[in-house]
Amino acid sequence: MQDLLRLFFLLTASSALALNESAPRCRCLYGDACWPTTSDFSSLQSQISQPLIYPIPTASGCYPLSSPSGNCTDIQANSYNGTWRADRPGSMDIYNYESFIFRNGSISACYLNTTLGVPCEQGNVPVIGVDARSVSDVQVAVKFAASHNLRIAIKNTGHDYAGRSAARNSFMLWTHHLNNITLNSTFVPEGAPSTEIYNAITVGSGVLWNDAYNAVAAQGRMLIGGLSAGGSVGAAGGWLQGGGHSAFAPLHGLGVDNVIEIKLVTAAGEYLTANTHQHSDLFWALRGGGGGTWGVLTSVTYQTHPTFPITTVFFNATATNTAVMKKLFTEFVRIHPALSAASFGGYATPANTSLNLFYNLPNGTDSRANASFESFFGLANNLTAEGLEIAAQETGTYDSFDQWYQSIFANTTGDAGIVELASRLLPTALFAEDEYEAFADKLFTIAGDGIVWNFVSGGAVSKVDPESTGLNPAWRESLVEAVWGAEWDEGATYSEIERSRAELAATMAQVSAIMPGAGSYFNEGSLFEPTPKQTYFGSHYDRLKEIKDEYDPNGLFIVGAGVGSDEWVDDLNCRRSD
């Protein structure tokens, strides 16, 4: 049947092209004459289960200054709390994306810092939307957006490092309250033989990882998911569609390697089940083709795994002498292939004057962990004579994933802020015995104040067939995801923001010179990548674009640097004329 459908789409491609050519070249935005009328929105309201929402920027309750409309004390106290922000449709975890920069450099924003004396404006926050509580709500909202040619923004938690879940003067589809969780130890995917059985969890697209972990922990299980302060990342949205990394991916693979089935609403308003047996082409694209591109996910089913004890290695050292730190960094790079072979994974922040890490060994012991780090610890202790100061060098043992997670992530909240990222997937080949010293030397020269060093690939990630999912094949050839960031103060001018962006771009140009053609993580990359097709999708882009054109021929779902976005001008509101 799928082959017949593909043939149908091929035969009707010319008709679809004609439709695209006759369709409006620009989206209808709030303030345009084409914007839906009050009557239109009343009709929409009559078809959905909840009142229409009118998202506002996070700090709106602090304005007007003479008589604030909300509890400003509460807003400012919770401004760095990602879970608190997730409950508010207009809030972004990375809150620079609540602001909008015009072509002339002026900025529309609503700042938490009320002393700046800037009036509160809507910025980049959508103006109206649907609080979806059912598949029907999603279908109605999608059809409404399509029929009125609206710019649509799909948002769950707002934990989004590229701001893809917000858009100025747009229509929001808020999935945060699609939060059902179902555990099934004998799950069989739709269309699969009865012998294909998984111990699984199905999560609605509004479920946070914190809640998903708690659900499986009660059964002595764990699953591969996002790890962030307070667990505020959504379990069934952009994290998965971008690839989905984890400190335990080297043991069990990435998120895209653990998903069994996805249910979604397409641009045509159809409710589909995608797995390896039904709509397998779409299932392939959803696993790595980028969030906000293929449809609105309503639920995702993941396989779960038996829990296991974890031994975590903690290390923290500083040195004012960069030559000393460079020696330690070189050894740090050298040991990674062996750590990967042992299924270690985790996070580090190497810099010119410091190195912090916490790496995790599943099913490990203190003695095994210490043996894996023996040469590194030995060098570190020897370097104390040259000025290295070791603040922490220890291991901690946890009985289960849940105990580890509760100890390190569950009760923390401070993950919101202002930042733009760029990243590279560091190829495993550069860690080889005859390459690592030169590689470490070059990388250290541009480490500066620090690299976010996510040791989340290699191991099981590298053993998956690169063609089995739509994920950039560069993931299968990498050992580490390295991330750099640009930051600025709230209220910064356009020129100050551009200066920070230029510094980030210069750093990434240096990184690219070390590893030409290296890939990047779609969820933690830059919107200003010079070659986003190659960097984010690699050799899979052309196939992804074919699938995109099949399921979304009119480009209803378009996001920054996503599949098909090159056909739109920079603000993604109008198609290119060429």
CATH number of the domain at 129, please: 3.30.43.10
What is the number of structural domains in the chain? Answer: 3
> What is the chain's Cα-based Rg?
24
pLDDT digits (tens, 9 = 90+) for 129-182: 999 999 999 999 999 999 999 999 999 999 999 999 999 999 999 999 999 999
**Rounded Cα–Cα distance for residues 525 and 415 (Å):** 17
327 and 463: one domain?
Answer: yes
Domain with 516 in it: what CATH number?
A: 3.40.462.20
Q: Supply the pLDDT for residue 404.
A: 97
User: Residue 279: which domain range?
Assistant: 181-306
**Residue in 360, 359, 374, 345 with CA at minimum distance from that of residue 316:** 359
Are residue 208 and residue 324 in the same domain, yes or no?
A: no
pLDDT for the residue numbered 9? 33
- Confidence at 8, pLDDT banded by 50, 70, 90: very low
Domain end residue (candidates: 112, 142, 176): 176
pLDDT for 10 beyond 60: no
Residue 22's pLDDT is 54
Contacts of 180 (CB under 8 A, 6+ apart): 202, 203, 204, 207, 299
- pLDDT, tens only, 423-454: 999 999 999 999 999 999 999 999 999 999 99
pLDDT at 1 exceeding the cut of 50: no
Same domain assignment for residues 282 and 326: no
Domain presence at residue 409: no
In a domain, residue 97? The reply is: yes
The token duo for 457 is 């690939």
Residue at 538 is within a domain: no
Instruction: Please say if the pLDDT value at position 20 is more than 50.
Output: no
Q: Domain check: are 450 and 510 in the same one?
A: yes
* Whether the Cβ atoms of residue 276 and residue 283 lie closer than 8 Å to each other: yes
Please compute the mean of the pLDDT values over residues 78-106 and round it to a whole number: 95
Q: Where do the H-state alpha helices sit in 23-134?
A: 38-45, 72-77, 82-86
pLDDT at 555 over 90: yes
Taking residues 230-249, what's their average pLDDT? 95
Mean pLDDT over 331-350 rounds to: 97
pLDDT in tens, 278-335: 999 999 999 999 999 999 999 999 999 999 999 999 999 999 999 999 999 999 999 9
Residues 346 and 361 in one domain: yes
* H helix or E strand, kind and range, residue 240: helix 238-242
pTM of the model: 0.94
Provide the 10 A C-beta neighbour count for residue 541.
Answer: 18
Please indicate, yes or no, whether residues 345 and 288 belong to a single structural domain of this protein. no
CATH classification of the domain holding 188: 3.30.465.10
Instruction: Among 306, 339, 362, give the residue marking a domain's end.
Output: 306
Across the chain, what does the average pLDDT equal? 94
- Quick: pLDDT tens for 466-496: 999 999 999 999 999 999 999 999 999 999 9
Residues 352 and 474 in one domain: yes
Length of the chain (residues): 578
How many percent of the chain have pLDDT more than 90?
93
Q: What is the mean pLDDT of residues 16-33?
A: 73
Secondary structure of residue 122 in the 3-state scheme: coil
Do 300 and 370 fall into the same domain? no
Whether residue 101 lies inside any domain: the answer is yes
Quote the CA–CA distance of 567 and 576 in Å, as a whole number: 6
Share of the chain above pLDDT 70, in %: 96
Confidence of residue 128 (pLDDT cuts 50, 70, 90): very high
Instruction: Indicate whether 516 and 376 sit together in one domain.
Output: yes
Q: How far apart are CA 519 and CA 512, in angstroms?
A: 10
Residue 11 has pLDDT above 50, yes or no: no
Which helix or strand (DSSP H or E) is residue 345 part of? Answer: strand 345-350
Q: Which two tokens stand for residue 369?
A: 């962990």
Q: Output the pLDDT for position 24.
A: 78
Per DSSP bridges, beta strands 354-362 and 305-306 are: unpaired
3-state secondary structure 233-275: CECCCHHHHHCCCCCCHHHHCCHHHCEEEEEEECCCCCEEEEC
Q: Does one domain contain both 378 and 352?
A: yes
**Distance from C-alpha of 352 to C-alpha of 348, rounded to nearest angstrom:** 13
pLDDT band at 23 (very low <50, low <70, confident <90, very high): low
Q: Is 165 a member of any domain?
A: yes
Is residue 192 a part of any domain in this protein? yes
Report if residue 21 sits inside a domain: no
* The pair of three-digit structure tokens given for residue 463, joined into one six-digit string: 């053993």
- 225 shares its domain with 163: no
Task: Answer yes or no: is pLDDT of 232 > 50.
Answer: yes
Of 511, 530, 549, the residue that ends a domain is 530
Do 214 and 250 lie in a common domain?
A: yes
pLDDT at 231: 87
Does a structural domain hold residue 25?
Answer: no
